[in-house]
Every structure is written in C-alpha cells, then in structure tokens.
C-alpha cells in the first residue's frame, strides 16, 4: 500500500502500510482504504482497474461480508443501482456508460464496521461486454492471498496508529560522516506530541529547526516537543523542521532502510511508541516513500 512504521504508525502503514500490502499490483479490484478502525463508520471504495481482456466493464456485483451494518451503496452516474440482502449491483445504463478497460472506476459503499478486529472479505463479480471475472477466492487460512488467481477483496479491521507517516526518507551518508537528515510527513488522528526519537544507527536522534539569527540561518534542536494537531499534516523537510541522526554508527547506504522509534504523548500524558523503517536515498524519492510501521504502548 499497506501505508500515512514505528510500531504504531506502523499499524497504519503496515496496512495501509498503508497500505497497499493487501492489494497486489496485478489485482483488478482493490479497496482505496484497506484498513479501518473497529466500530467506525467506513466508506468502502472498490476500485476496478481494468476490464476483461480489454472488454469494457458493464456490471459490478458485490457480496457484502457478514458483520457490516447499515450498508448503503452510493449511486454512480450513468449506472443503475440494485441492492438486496447482502448483494449490491451496479449496471451501466447504456453502452456509452460502460467502464472502458483502460479506465479505473470506483464503486462506494458506506457501512458501520463490527466492534471486534478481524478480516472482512468482499466478493466481487465483474461482468464485461465480453467475459466475466469473479474475484471471490479466499485463502485456506489467514489473510495471505499469495498464489490466488482471483482473490476476494480484503478489508482488515484493526486499531489504527495514533499517527500516519508518509513520504518518509533518510539521506544517505558516506564513510566517516557523522550525521544525516530524515524527512517525513506526520498526520495525527488525535492531537499528540512527538516527545522522543531513537534509532539503532545513531547515538542521538532529534528534531531540529532552521532559524534566522541576524543574516545567518542556523540549525538547532527543537525546544520541547513537536506538536502534532489532529488531522493536520506536519512536514519534516529540508530547510525546515527535520530529523537529525547524529553520531552515526555506520554509513547509511542508498537503497537500505533505517529503523526509527517515535515516542508519542497524548493529551492525558500517556506515551506510546511508533516503530518505522524508513528508506535511505540520496535525494527525495520521486513519489514520496512510505514508511513501514508498527505500534506499541
């Protein structure tokens, strides 16, 4: 995605890490958000990426997983909508409205998720002008779809981390270099503060800021914690707030990864750790790299 590393961000990224972990690149149908919080209101956006061997998609039928409550499908312009029991079906009203094979289409369902964590499988039947694809295979055990030719679409219901980590990377270093910078975008689900950072590759890890002193731009450790407001992205980037890894214990080679542990403190003073693995690169990755995350209290 499978995904917003650390053992908490980790949860989100892990899946979502984020998120994409559960939607292989060759899959025809996937969920926009493959991980969601137990008991939450969830908008399942099913993405149909192409047709049947070049043939346009004319009907998308979904068998809803048990456990969803108050499910209601969204209408799609140019398509008729049918819903009965646990089945939802969209059908192109005209030939022109059919989804071209090379075009991605989205079909959405709003529902309430069960209160307990677990795996929910959406079985999808994709009918085209010529041919049909049934995305309904389930693994014999667990949630791995490796080896399945036409897997059902998986939604992982589980607790999400306090913070989502995106576009994370650490600058590579050369032998003898004592420090390097790290960059990422942090978005908190609820207001928290970043009160500490550590890494096995560095003796010291801190958030630094760039400030003008007269006509000179100087870098210094951030005084106090880094505030992460709810729902507002905070960027650590070159030339601004950023992560500094100092007293490096080894060179950081491009193409490798660096483990970081972020310590987060909520409004009640409770701490939790977010563990992430961040890619190392000589420059910012083109699309913005994602951290692989995990979360613990």
Q: How far apart are CA 7 and CA 262, in angstroms?
A: 9
pLDDT digits over 95-118, tens only?
999 999 999 999 999 999 999 999
Query: How high is the mean pLDDT of the chain?
Result: 87
DSSP assignments along 134-174, one per residue: EE-B--SSSS--TT-SSBPEEEEE-PPPSEEEEEEEEE---
Q: How far apart are CA 199 and CA 242, in angstroms?
A: 15
Position 1 scores a pLDDT of: 36
- pLDDT-derived band at 52, boundaries 50, 70, 90: very high
Q: How far apart are CA 248 and CA 202, in angstroms?
A: 4
- pLDDT-derived band at 161, boundaries 50, 70, 90: confident
Structure token digits, residue 287: 């699309």
Closest to 128 (Cα-Cα) out of 20, 29, 1? 29
Domain range spanning residue 228?
A: 163-296
Asked if the structure places residue 30 within a domain, the reply is: no
Average pLDDT estimate for 53-59? 95
From 5-14, 41-50, 87-96, the region with the lowest mean pLDDT: 5-14
Chosen domain end from 157, 172, 194:
157
Residues 170 and 270 in one domain: yes
CB 201 within 8 A of CB 173: no
Q: What is the CATH number of the domain that holds 260?
A: 2.60.40.1890
Residues sharing a CB contact under 8 Å with residue 58, sequence separation 6 or more, in sequence order: 91, 92, 98, 99, 127, 128, 129
- Residues linked to residue 292 through DSSP beta bridges, in sequence order: 277
pLDDT digits over 209-263, tens only?
987 677 777 888 998 899 999 999 999 999 899 999 999 999 999 999 999 999 9
Structure token digits, residue 103: 């075009």
Residues 283 and 170 in one domain: yes
Asked if the structure places residue 33 within a domain, the reply is: no
pTM, to two decimals: 0.60
Chosen domain end from 142, 157, 172:
157
Asked if the structure places residue 3 within a domain, the reply is: no
- Residues linked to residue 153 through DSSP beta bridges, in sequence order: 122
Asked if the structure places residue 88 within a domain, the reply is: yes
Residues 291 and 192 in one domain: yes
Asked if the structure places residue 69 within a domain, the reply is: yes
Residue 294 has pLDDT above 80, yes or no: no
**Number of structural domains found in the chain:** 2
Asked if the structure places residue 7 within a domain, the reply is: no
From 19-28, 65-74, 209-218, 279-288, the region with the lowest mean pLDDT: 19-28
pLDDT digits over 119-148, tens only?
999 999 999 999 999 999 999 999 998 889
Residues sharing a CB contact under 8 Å with residue 270, sequence separation 6 or more, in sequence order: 297
Residues sharing a CB contact under 8 Å with residue 160, sequence separation 6 or more, in sequence order: 11, 12, 35, 36, 37, 189
Chosen domain end from 124, 157, 190:
157
Position 114 scores a pLDDT of: 96
- pLDDT-derived band at 290, boundaries 50, 70, 90: low
- pLDDT-derived band at 9, boundaries 50, 70, 90: very low
- pLDDT-derived band at 167, boundaries 50, 70, 90: very high
Place of tokens 């890890």: 205
Q: What is the CATH number of the domain that holds 119?
A: 2.60.40.2230
């Amino acid at each position: 995605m499978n995904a917003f590393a650390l053992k908490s961000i980790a949860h989100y990224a892990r899946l979502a890490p984020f998120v994409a972990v559960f939607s292989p690149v060759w899959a025809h149908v996937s969920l926009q958000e493959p991980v969601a919080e137990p008991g939450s209101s969830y908008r399942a956006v099913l993405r149909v990426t192409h047709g049947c061997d070049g043939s346009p998609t004319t009907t998308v039928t979904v068998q809803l997983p048990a456990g969803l409550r108050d499910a209601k499908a969204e209408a799609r312009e140019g398509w008729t909508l049918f819903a009965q029991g646990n089945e939802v079906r969209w059908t192109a009203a005209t030939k022109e409205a059919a989804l071209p094979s090379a075009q991605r289409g989205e079909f959405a369902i709003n529902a309430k998720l069960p209160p307990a964590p677990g795996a929910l499988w959406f079985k999808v039947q994709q009918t085209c002008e010529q041919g049909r694809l049934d995305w309904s295979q389930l693994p014999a055990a667990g949630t791995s779809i490796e080896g399945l030719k036409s897997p059902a679409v998986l939604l992982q219901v589980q607790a999400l981390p306090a913070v989502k980590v995106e576009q994370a990377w650490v600058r590579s270093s050369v032998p003898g270099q004592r420090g390097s910078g790290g960059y990422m975008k942090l978005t908190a689900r609820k207001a928290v503060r970043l009160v500490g950072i550590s890494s096995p590759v560095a003796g010291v890890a801190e958030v630094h800021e760039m400030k003008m002193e007269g006509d000179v731009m100087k870098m210094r450790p951030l005084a106090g914690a880094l505030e992460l407001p709810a729902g507002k992205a905070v960027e650590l980037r070159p030339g601004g707030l950023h992560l500094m890894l100092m007293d490096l214990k080894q060179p950081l080679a491009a193409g490798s990864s660096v483990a970081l542990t972020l310590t987060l403190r909520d409004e009640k003073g409770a701490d939790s750790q977010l563990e992430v693995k961040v890619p190392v690169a000589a420059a910012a990755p083109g699309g913005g790299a994602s951290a692989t995350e995990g979360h613990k209290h």
